[in-house]
């Protein structure tokens, strides 16, 4: 099998590339290196630099698609910080880039695994696990977070529309919080950010009251689910996350601090102070993964304590290298 991975120099994409190569498949990567890193590209993968949202690259995209057996579309704007600072880029990348990929895949009838996000579920004030058919509730258009959520929802709508109208074989992965090696905290990702703050002795900054809850899935489990989803012989939407690794952000900060052996103060920061604007937050985000279990034969394996120990060790290693 030959796979094209857009965003393959990024966090999840690079791990997916490594796994596919290890399994004996050929891999081509398309990435503009805006948030991905060239050093993330594994040996053996073909690398092409380019922006999926750029209309001038449409021909190159078609060339890459026609020579592959499956497309993993992971290229997207990532992180709340980027969404707030560059809203136009967020919308353009997520919407136009996805349309370029879907159009090429439809022309050549190549299956697509589209990386969507748990953000599409919108505002949640109760901790009930979210299933794929759950209703969505969003805030006003003046809140930049919902622009990102809507863009990912529109990606899904487009994939479903191309499936209905042009016979595209699209599988949609709604990915919940994923953590692992090579993830950076500079775009707001909470686990690596907490780990670095704890290891360096700085304030561990919790945005908001810290009572919001999240679930954290290890990237190796997420990659396994994406590969299984690519093998399903029909279009579908599927949650990918670890409902067992469910924790309040206040407790997450305390746990990371303890694992780091740190005495860093834990402080609460208003969203306005963290991002310069008010950010609506999802209070709870926990997936129902029954569909992944029954349809993919998948369930996550890495427990939260192992994920957090790995993150703390990565932060310590990074600090030692910097010295």
The catalytic site residues sit at: 148
Burial class (CB in 10 A: 0-12, 13-18, 19+), 35: buried
d(CA 159, CA 112): 9
| Phi and psi based region of residue 210 (left: phi greater than 0; alpha: psi -120 to 50; beta: remaining) | left
Place of tokens 């794929």: 132
Please check whether residue 187 is in contact with residue 79, taking contact to mean a CB–CB distance below 8 angstroms: yes
- What is the SS3 assignment for 316? helix
Q: What is the DSSP letter of 85?
A: H
Q: How many residues belong to the chain?
A: 323
Contacts of 20 (CB under 8 A, 6+ apart): 1, 3, 5, 27, 227
Give me the residues paired with residue 130 across strands: 287
Q: What is the dihedral of CA 90, 223, 10, 86, to 10 degrees?
A: 10
d(CA 143, CA 299): 34
* Residues 176, 189, 211: CA angle, nearest 5 degrees: 75
């Amino acid at each position: 099998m030959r796979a094209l991975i857009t965003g393959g120099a990024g966090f999840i994409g690079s791990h997916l590339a490594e796994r596919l190569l290890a399994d004996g498949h050929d891999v081509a990567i398309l990435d503009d290196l805006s948030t991905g890193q060239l050093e993330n590209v594994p040996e053996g993968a073909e690398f092409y630099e380019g922006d999926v949202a750029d209309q001038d690259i449409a021909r190159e995209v078609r060339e890459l698609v026609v020579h592959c057996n499956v497309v993993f579309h992971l290229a997207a704007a990532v992180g709340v910080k980027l969404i707030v600072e560059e809203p136009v880029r967020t919308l353009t990348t997520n919407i136009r880039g996805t349309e370029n990929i879907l159009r090429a895949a439809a022309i050549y009838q190549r299956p697509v695994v589209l990386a969507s996000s748990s953000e599409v579920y919108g505002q949640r004030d109760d901790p009930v696990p979210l299933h794929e058919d759950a209703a969505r509730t969003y805030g006003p258009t003046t809140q930049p977070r919902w622009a990102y959520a809507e863009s990912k929802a529109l990606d899904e709508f487009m994939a479903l529309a191309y499936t209905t109208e042009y016979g595209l074989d699209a599988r949609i992965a709604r990915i919940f919080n994923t953590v692992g090696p090579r993830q950076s905290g500079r775009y707001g990702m909470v686990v690596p950010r907490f780990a670095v703050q704890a290891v360096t002795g700085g304030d561990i900054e919790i945005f908001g009251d810290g009572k919001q809850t999240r679930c954290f899935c290890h990237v190796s489990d997420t990659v396994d689910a994406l590969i299984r989803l690519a093998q399903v012989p029909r279009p579908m939407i599927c949650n990918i996350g670890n409902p067992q690794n469910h924790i309040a952000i206040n407790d997450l900060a305390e746990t990371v601090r303890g694992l780091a052996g740190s005495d860093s103060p834990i402080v609460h920061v208003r969203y306005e102070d963290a991002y310069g604007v008010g950010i609506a937050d999802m209070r709870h985000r926990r997936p129902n993964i029954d569909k992944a279990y029954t349809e993919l034969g998948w369930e996550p394996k890495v427990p939260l304590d192992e994920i957090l120990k790995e993150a703390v060790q990565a932060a310590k290693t990074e600090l030692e290298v910097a010295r």
